[in-house]
Structure 1
């Protein structure tokens, strides 16, 4: 099966214009061989990001889609070009994060088909791949287990301490959690990017603010989980760390001091001890595209995600 990034590379060499449909997973739009937009069934698109945050009404957006598209949207002044560009960047990066690793589908290319936003911005496929790898490494560094990405978000009924400090996105996730919605379902409800919500959920897990997963919930790895996301950081303990030999155990079989005392059970969402010798994961270069200010927007978005 041809990898999706390789397929996009072939379309780029042929300078193709049209839509690459990935079944029910989503669609990738190209103009003259360059990616202009991506839609993913799992993440909110630019339309949802604009309407859910109160930037536009759904009726007004439908009218623009039917008549005038992106040009009319900017002419009417409902959004500045920078605001729209930032929303498109977030939607495309979100979609790429989940679409590019997909395998087992039979993409169908429809020549000439365009997204209603048109070819206003272009994204480099190699840059998108690098940015997705950086994001997966960053998620794994915050919290090494990807199971929280697909399970319902269930906040703890009480605080693990006297107080906590939450970011705006974390607060929205806590308030919006209904014990049933997964992080990506919450992202659509909140009108937040899927990646921003995944970041918030992993940070909540690292802070001990999520309840342990229900043993009855067994999830299989999702297509977007690559080796970079599944690999635990070097400072993480193995799954059977509690069964491993303790440092104070005597090698000849004698009892060490305190050997009869029960071991403290580690919380399923407790971060393992930090290992100062662990090698930090390098961050990949930002996505590039043209116009050239897309690179600047990418750096800005990355900085904002660190604060969210």
Structure 2
């Protein structure tokens, strides 16, 4: 990844301001936002969220120029490598100055080249500011020694997140965070979360198959009530009930079929023949003008007569 490849609008605007030898502040929009301070086309300071500012208490410190330089580089890496918002151009405000003044002056082309080299270095290490990183389990029996900065990042790496987000949460500069994350990946303490190149879209489970229901044709024939007119128009008479079968009697065991002798030689008297059952009384024959009392018509008439009495 290089500054030219990212095509951040602020990089082109900085080149234009350097050629025109402009003085003021270039405000970079987006997340995170920030500003480059220039004097006659050279960068004198840079600030952005996530990069600790140079405290004013070190104004007399002889190391102040080197602190300003490292802050400019850190803020430049943060701003020029961050995702951009479409149609969100930088805004230049002429005349604005920072309290650090002219203690360090950074040429625009030199600054962009240094930012490009840093991003290329981290790409060679295998991690970029927006890669997803998570902790990894070490093999049993393996021991890894980490420094205090890696320990601070490990304690905050509770879930998969990018080095940029981790740097903002921990307050550690992005370049230092990328260096520590690369070392943790090399030692096996952390690993990159690889995106699935062929993501599969979960399909919805098939709908349960249901049997087609028969069209509703009303109540079944067996559920319909038989009307009185149907009974009255019936012409087939109901026959008499079947005669009762003769009752079975227990059979006396015989030693020899046909002989009434038991095993001891004694004889037994055969059972008397069954008494003739009384024949059922003859059913009265209805006269030509009368109805059979057991016919459907007679039953229907009696039902209607009972309903009338109610």
Length-normalised TM-score, structure 1: 0.51
**Alpha-carbon spacing, 1:215–1:2, altered in 2? closer, same or farther (3 Å):** closer
Q: For residue 29 of structure 2, what is the aligned residue in structure 1?
A: 23
Distance 1:152 1:138 in 2: 18
2:80 corresponds, among 100, 105, 115, to 100
**Alpha-carbon spacing, 1:36–1:6, altered in 2? closer, same or farther (3 Å):** same
Q: How many pairs does the alignment contain?
A: 187
Say which structure, 1 or 2, has more relative contact order (CA 8 Å, 6+ apart): 1
Length-normalised TM-score, structure 2: 0.51
Q: For residue 62 of structure 2, what is the aligned residue in structure 1?
A: 81
Distance 1:161 1:37 in 2: 49
Distance 1:113 1:133 in 2: 27
For residue 153 of structure 1, report the CA deviation from its aligned partner. 4.5
For residue 134 of structure 1, report the CA deviation from its aligned partner. 1.5
Whether 1:8 aligns to 2:17 is no
Kept after mapping to 2: 8 A contact 1:155/1:177:
yes
- Report SS of the residue matched to 1:178: coil
Q: For residue 113 of structure 1, what is the aligned residue in structure 2?
A: 96
- Report SS of the residue matched to 1:19: strand
Unpaired runs of at least 5, structure 1: 48-60, 62-69, 219-308
- Report SS of the residue matched to 2:72: helix
CA offsets, 1:1-60, max 9 Å, x none?
89533322221232211111122332111112210112234x31325xxxxxxxxxxxxx
Kept after mapping to 1: 8 A contact 2:37/2:44:
yes
Q: Over aligned residues, Cα RMSD in angstroms?
A: 3.2
- Structure with the larger helix share: 1
Unpaired runs of at least 5, structure 2: 1-6, 199-310
